[in-house]
């Protein structure tokens, strides 16, 4: 079976963990500081602030920017639940709007239509590693004086017009969960060009204190450990090579897969293919996935239920594109370690199943 994801952990990662273990200093320390500096150098952002998960990064960014009770944040419903959870955990209200189906981006026109006097921010998601429509979205934000927070959990080193994601708005949030484009075990990173937001995020992750026992606000413990940072630093060094391999695999699929809708890349955008997500339009998607599994190709459905319909939010909204795409999206294995034989198997299997009808 070709698995849907295959995290790569090598000897360098094991050595890095061992180095920290032998140092005897396990909690946030010099490895975290180095990871932040290196992340800024490679992914961009004047400041990078490491935390214990991508969800914490999203959450801390809102709290650090003063987003909370009474505020509305516009988000896509077609995403991982953490996108909306972070808004709700900050005390604000997620306002779900529809996406467009080429790039799975939050729809700029739908965002414009959802703005109310309570709207404080927009949070686009760079889903599957393709950047959201940032040029249009930042224009709308500017016109209405809204903040932009980027959910870049799936899009390390993706960019639009040469500007890396995580640098378009007031803050970007990345995840280092094992199946993401790079991992630290668990972990997250906030990127920001705002000195004040960066300082506040650092204070919030550490119980609300900059100086020990002089807690200035009510904070969290969302620190990253030096063990995780050491893994993340090794993986960061491999990110650009891995991204090229993902893009190469995607190009092979683009050129050879037929009978389903393959994912296009917007002009000026760099897609980093966290997922290679096709849309199955002429077949039942779940039957299609089962037929692929029978041929030894595992796939992923991200995400079967739009966030607004999950029991945690349970809202009765009309988001037709979100509903449609949730029944069509199917992610194929695209990770760097795919062999040529596995790529061939994936292409042949998809083409066979697409031809067979179901
Ligand atoms: C993974 C992910 C998150 C959350 O990251 P964690 O590190 O798992 O907390 C948030 N948003 C999106 C779109 C994700 O894919």
| Per-residue pLDDT tens over the stretch 212-241 | 999 999 999 999 999 999 999 999 999 999
Which one of 77, 80, 155, 190 would you pick to mutate in the ligand 1 pocket, going by the greatest count of ligand atoms within 8 A of its CB? 80
Q: Is the CB of 152 under 6 A from ligand 1?
A: no
Backbone φ/ψ region at 322: left (φ over 0), alpha (ψ -120 to 50), beta = alpha
For residue 358, pLDDT beyond 60: no
Give the other-Cβ count within 10 Å of 345's Cβ. Answer: 18
Q: Is the CB of 307 under 6 A from ligand 1?
A: no
- Average pLDDT score over residue span 255-278: 98
Which one of 5, 104, 106, 151 would you pick to mutate in the ligand 1 pocket, going by the greatest count of ligand atoms within 8 A of its CB? 151
CATH 3.40.640.10 intervals, the chain = 11-234
Check if the beta carbon of residue 330 is closer than 8 Å to that of residue 286: no
pLDDT at 57: 98
Express as a percent the part of the chain with pLDDT over 90.
98
How far does the centroid of ligand 1 lie from the alpha carbon of residue 150, in Å? 12
What is the chain's mean pLDDT, rounded?
A: 97
How far does the centroid of ligand 1 lie from the alpha carbon of residue 46, in Å? 22
pLDDT at 44: 81
Residue among 344, 347, 334, 351 at smallest CA distance from 283: 351
Question: Is omega for the bond preceding 303 within 30 degrees of 0, making it cis?
Answer: yes
- Average pLDDT score over residue span 275-281: 98
* Ligand 1 atom 2: residue of nearest CA: 153
Q: Is the CB of 54 under 6 A from ligand 1?
A: yes
Phi, psi for 140 (deg, rounded to 5): -65, -40
- Average pLDDT score over residue span 53-59: 98
pLDDT at 357: 63
Fold adopted by 11-234 = 3.40.640
Helix (H) or strand (E) holding 62: helix 54-64
Q: Is the CB of 222 under 6 A from ligand 1?
A: no
The pLDDT tens digits of the residues spanning 130-179 come to 999 999 999 999 999 999 999 999 999 999 999 999 999 999 999 999 99
Q: Note the pTM of the prediction, 2 decimals.
A: 0.98
Query: In angstroms, rounded to a whole number, what is the distance separating the alpha carbons of residues 109 and 115?
Result: 10
Q: Is the CB of 185 under 6 A from ligand 1?
A: no
Residue 78, classed as helix, strand or coil, is: coil
The pLDDT tens digits of the residues spanning 62-78 come to 999 999 999 999 999 99
Atom of ligand 1 nearest to the CA of 55: 9
Query: In angstroms, rounded to a whole number, what is the distance separating the alpha carbons of residues 87 and 98?
Result: 17
* CATH class of domain segment(s) 239-356: alpha beta
Atom of ligand 1 nearest to the CA of 188: 7
Q: Is the CB of 121 under 6 A from ligand 1?
A: no
Atom of ligand 1 nearest to the CA of 176: 7
Q: Is the CB of 82 under 6 A from ligand 1?
A: yes
Q: Is the CB of 53 under 6 A from ligand 1?
A: yes
For the record, the structure tokens of 128 come out as: 């599957």
pLDDT at 6: 93
Residue 65, classed as helix, strand or coil, is: coil
Query: In angstroms, rounded to a whole number, what is the distance separating the alpha carbons of residues 326 and 320?
Result: 10
The pLDDT tens digits of the residues spanning 73-121 come to 999 999 999 999 999 999 999 999 999 999 999 999 999 999 999 999 9
* Helices 340-356 and 285-294, axial angle in degrees (round to 10): 130
CATH 3.90.1150.10 intervals, the chain = 239-356
Q: How confident is the model at residue 319 (pLDDT cuts 50, 70, 90)?
A: very high
């Amino acid at each position: 079976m070709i698995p849907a994801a295959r995290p790569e952990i090598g000897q360098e990662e094991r050595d890095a963990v061992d180095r920290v273990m032998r140092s005897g200093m396990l909690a946030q320390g010099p490895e975290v500081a180095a990871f932040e500096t290196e992340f800024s150098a490679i992914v961009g952002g004047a400041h990078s602030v490491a935390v214990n998960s991508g969800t914490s990064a999203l959450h801390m960014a809102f709290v650090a920017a003063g987003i909370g009770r009474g505020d509305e944040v516009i988000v896509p419903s077609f995403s991982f639940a953490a996108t909306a959870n972070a808004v709700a955990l900050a005390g604000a209200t997620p306002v779900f709007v529809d996406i467009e189906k080429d790039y799975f981006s939050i729809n700029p026109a739908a965002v414009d239509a959802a703005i109310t006097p309570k709207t404080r921010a927009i949070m686009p998601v760079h889903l599957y590693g393709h950047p959201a429509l940032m040029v249009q979205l930042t224009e709308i934000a500017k016109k209405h004086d809204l903040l932009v927070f980027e959910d870049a959990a799936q899009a390390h080193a993706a960019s639009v017009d040469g500007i890396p994601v995580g640098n378009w708005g007031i803050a970007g949030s990345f995840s280092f969960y094992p199946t993401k484009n790079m991992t630290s075990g668990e972990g997250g990173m906030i990127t920001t060009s705002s000195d004040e937001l960066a300082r506040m995020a650092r204070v919030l992750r550490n119980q609300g204190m900059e100086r020990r026992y002089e807690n200035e606000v009510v904070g969290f413990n969302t620190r990253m450990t030096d063990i995780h940072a050491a893994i993340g630093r090794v993986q960061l060094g491999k990110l650009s090579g891995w991204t090229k391999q993902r893009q190469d695999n995607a190009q092979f699929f683009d050129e050879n897969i037929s009978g389903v809708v393959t994912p296009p890349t917007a002009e000026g955008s760099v897609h980093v293919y966290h997922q290679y997500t096709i849309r199955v339009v002429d077949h039942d998607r779940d039957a299609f996935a089962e037929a692929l599994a029978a041929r030894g190709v595992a796939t992923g459905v991200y995400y079967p239920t739009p966030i607004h319909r999950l029991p945690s939010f349970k809202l009765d909204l009309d988001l037709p594109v979100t509903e449609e795409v949730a029944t069509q999206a199917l992610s194929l294995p695209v990770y760097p370690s795919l062999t040529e034989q596995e790529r061939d198997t994936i292409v042949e299997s998809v083409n066979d199943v697409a031809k067979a009808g179901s």
